[in-house]
Structure 1
């Protein structure tokens, strides 16, 4: 028996010594594998330069001078100590008590009973059937000696799903599904949560609709803590949500009755609803080892509706210093030379789709075009069959009807006239049909901001709204139509065609804003509120973008 123990210890020490010199190489390999994964997952090739223009800073002083659009500096992992067991057998009493880390009962037992279930799930989930089995597992030499639990690196399954690399036993412990191989005998573990009130700590987890009747609210907590073994080597700075599918009830007059909200992040995330398949969000996470922040995803469902709600949301945890992090003030981030961008809930279907209270930035990484950085980005409205690819506010169209007999006049807004198809670019216009002229808002409350946007004739405008993408403000036109009983007077502002709009201003960025109502806005001089017409059947926007 003594000879067997000595033999095991000799093997362990030899394995440890042989890998001590390769620590840095393995860490570099893990980073390369991670970047390659995200290149496949998000459709871009990592460049030697950073998220927009410049090479990532390599020192702290350089980091202090970096623009917010240049991303964060590369995170340097601490060098491995000579004792590879130290990070698993933690002697810190506070860490052991608060986080359920490793005890001293043997390597094999600790792989199973490491506190992986501690502080991760709801208090009701306390059943641990493997706790006695853990005490029987003998010490064994794991091929991935520097991380017996697995690398937790991202991977793609045989079916194209995203997962993490770990051992088959740990995958089962976390409730995952092995699907395809990883290096060093590990498996690509696919993690799926299909319940309300659950807690997630693993990268590449899918939150799917519960199979039973939905309850409201339905929440999911993304718990982040650099002390967790699955996050220790890669502290998290951002979370990317990909809506593989997303269907809730449509808004009422632009306001969501079913709501999806996010809490615990440092950037502004709007409330959304409706159909959002294919959309994404970047959530910016305050990084703290002393007081880590939990991120909450929350669905609330209105009563009295029979619509079938469903979702499948991929939750990707992005490590600090990665080249694919979004700029700090961006909710959406696109990293390709061309593609499609649309407002939340836009679909090529008839009917109102625009959401109220949207205020966020959409950013685009400056890509290489023929080995040169792109100098401008151009946008055109998407081709739509049943829906409207650009409909933000209802442009001014007022019909004055005067009775020939009484002289009584009334003002009527309508979307049935030709004027409702025209654009309105200016933030306000003057209603000359009224005494002394009245200032009326157009692109003041709902608009898409394209800094430096201009057409082929170099006509430039920043704000775009109405029903056409066109920087030309047009002019006010009067039309008089007389009949035996009525006189009609119409004024129209703007132009009636969509054009391509390009901007040379880098970093390329759009800002989308809507107010909290679709009804008319009353003028309130005391609060400097300018009146605006009611919006009718607005859909939001869908644009094709191309860098060149």
Structure 2
């Protein structure tokens, strides 16, 4: 136990000696008293956000948010007042550790049950936003030397109560910041490209170093150099994400610029705000040093909501991002800008300022203090309208030419198809004519065969009649022969029957029988021959009849073929006639389309010449208008409503010159509210409070062509943005 006490005693003395009480009321109030005396001697600081108790200051007059003429805080106390008050705040005196009562505090910390939790490191990591300026001019936080060492910061300068001004500088990519007044600068080695370098600012009320709730972050670009934009568009980009403020993308040179970023209160939810550089390929100087101030909720020096920039002095200078007093024709104005610039209303000569006046700042190095888009003067508007008309006419002429060429191509295709169809139809006519001739020849042949078949049939029929007559005769002869034979048989039988036989009669009967038998045989042979001849003749008749029938059928078929061939020939001829008509029509269409193409080409040539002339006139008119002022207007010129200060402009509500000529939107190359563009800038003043301006640019420096619900505007050249001196009165 004794050994433990020996080890723990020095450690406890070191930790508890850092701060005399957990909330540090004595140092807190003494520091505030010291600050008040400084303010009394030197007026309000030009950078109030670096002073830890600025938000506790109250003006002499009850005008919240404004300082009085003498800049003397209200509720002043006499010197040393806060050092004399009782700061126990309900705690025992011995609970406030000081070197005068080390023993009491040590035993209170080690052996008595404290009335509040024991946090030996709570004050080593400083839990407040105490700011200070180091000997090098950088801003840090006041803490003990030991705490500064533990936080890996660099002591530079001193604060009250023996504390040091602790400055923290990060020179890496990918880190995380949780401490107030941290600097982020480019790495010591050259930045490669293409590449990304990012840093996260973490806001979390559970962190010991963020006991004060954070509602805003202020970024001060101590130095900032990246590649210049190309036609207004950043190739190297710096972007902010995670904040409720929509910060624009910036690049180029932005030394001395700043941004206020609204963030959700760290009391509700932790927030990571990411700062990101994206470097495009190519060689360029890339370096930066950015201070990040964490601003507590409720502080009166917070910027109003939705104010990217906030100025809290009665006079000063305000510039657009990347504006520099340098000569040249390069476009320095950045595209896609849309943010508010706000000004705290001050007390001037013991009275609240009633107006803010703006004038272009003086340049010494050839820079352009006011150059926001190209105004559309009368000549420029006329030329722009003529250019739009010429562009439209050329587009129409080209469309007409394209349509005419398409029509010609279609007509040529139709003609080719018609010619092919005509050739096919003509070939079909030839084929059908040949078929008709062949059919007619076949009909003649068939018709010639019919008489021959008829004659053959008659001949065969005659031969058949003759054969049939011969057969009848033969059959009659045969009958007679058979009758004679029968009689001879009877006579022979009768002769033999006579008794005594009469041999002579028998012999005679026998001879007669033989003769009759011979005659029968001969007659039968004649009948057989005649029958055969009759059969042959009948066959010939049948064949002749068949031949005649076939010949007649052939004639009928040939007649049908001729009729079919005649119809096919007629149809083929009709198709050929129609095809010829289609060819003639298609040829006429081709001729007309060729004429239309020639006319359209002539129209395109004329429209191109007119466009070239309009472009030259517009360029000359825009060049003349480039040095003129512009205000938010639009006018009908040659039937075209042409806009001025619509896409790129500086909005100063209610701003007017010394003659009370008033305008809200300003652009061109001169700050002047007159409607008729001139080349002279004049101071303008606005009585509208709170004092603020809005700067907006579109995404291009090119020409805006007229369209549906789109007003045309000429192209921009060498815009630089603005640099204005402001003065509250």
150-159 or 352-361, larger mean C-alpha shift: 150-159
The 8 Å contact of residues 359 and 512 in structure 1, kept in 2 or not, is answered as: yes
Alignment of 1:30-429 (within 5 A): 40=45, 42=47, 48-49=58-59, 53-54=63-64, 82=91, 147-150=123-126, 152=128, 153-215=130-192, 216-232=195-211, 234-289=212-267, 291-303=269-281, 305-349=282-326, 350=328, 351-384=330-363, 385-396=365-376, 397-398=379-380, 409=610, 410-412=613-615, 413-414=618-619, 417-429=623-635
Q: Aligned to 1:223, what secondary structure does the other structure show?
A: strand
Q: Does 1:521 align with 2:704?
A: yes
Q: Are residues 1:473 and 2:658 paired?
A: no
Q: Do 1:151 and 1:166's aligned partners in 2 also have CA atoms closer than 8 Å?
A: no
| TM-superposition CA deviations, 1:314-342 (whole Å, max 9, x none) | 11111112221111110000111111101
Which residue pairs with 1:72 in the alignment? none
Aligned-pair CA distance for 1:174 = 2.0
CA contact (8 A) 2:706 2:712 kept: yes
Q: 1:4 to 1:208 in 2, by over 3 A?
A: closer
Q: Counterpart of 1:340 in 2: which secondary structure? A: strand
The structure richer in strand per residue is 1
Aligned partners of 1:53 and 1:366 also within 8 Å: no
Do 1:43 and 1:336's aligned partners in 2 also have CA atoms closer than 8 Å? Answer: no
Tell me which structure has the larger Cα radius of gyration. 2
1:498 partnered with 2:686: no
- Separation of aligned partners in 1, 2:122 and 2:144: 13
Q: Retained in 2: the 8 A contact 1:272–1:355?
A: yes
Stretch moving more, 241-250 or 515-524: 515-524
Shift of 1:352: 1.5
Flag structure 2 segments of 5+ consecutive residues without an equivalent: 67-87, 96-108, 111-117, 388-605
- Quick check: 2:249–2:337 contact (8 Å CA) kept in 1? yes
Deviations 1:184-222 (A, max 9, x none): 322111100000001111111110110124252100011
Q: Distance in 1 between matches of 2:661 and 2:229?
A: 36
CA distance in 1, matches of 2:367, 2:22: 61
Secondary structure class of the residue paired with 2:655: coil
Matched, 1:507 2:690: yes
Shift of 1:82: 4.4
1:342·1:543 contact (CA, 8 Å) conserved in 2?
yes
**Alignment CA distance shift 1:213-1:34 (3 Å):** farther
Note the C-alpha offset of 1:531.
1.7
Query: Using the alignment, how far apart are the partners of 2:94 and 2:271 within structure 1?
Result: 28
Distance 2:168 2:652 in 1: 39
Q: Decide which moves more: 327-336 or 165-174.
A: 165-174
* Gap runs ≥5 in structure 1: 57-78, 87-105, 108-138, 475-493
Does the Cα contact within 8 Å between 1:34 and 1:154 map onto a contact in 2?
no
| C-alpha deviation, 1:446, in angstroms | 0.6
CA 1:146–1:81 in 2, change beyond 3 Å: closer, same or farther? farther
Distance 1:149 1:85 in 2: 23
Distance 1:272 1:510 in 2: 18
TM-score normalised by length of structure 2 = 0.55
- Which protein, 1 or 2, shows the higher relative CO under an 8 Å CA cutoff with sep ≥ 6? 2
CA contact 1:250–1:274 (8 Å) conserved in 2: yes
Show CA shifts across 1:387-415 (max 9, x none): 2111111122538699xxx9975323226
Map Cα deviations across residues 332-386 of structure 1 (whole Å, 9 max, x no partner): 0011111110100001112321100000000001111111111101011111241
Distance 1:270 1:256 in 2: 11
Q: Alignment partner of 2:219: what SS?
A: strand
SS at match of 1:172: helix
Q: Per the alignment, do residues 198 and 366 of structure 1 end up closer, same or farther by CA in structure 2, a change over 3 Å counting?
A: same
Distance 1:196 1:23, change over 3 A: closer
Return closer, same or farther for 1:507/1:32 CA change in 2, 3 Å cut-off. Answer: farther
Cα distance in 2 between the residues matched to 1:212 and 1:369: 49
Q: How many residues align?
A: 439
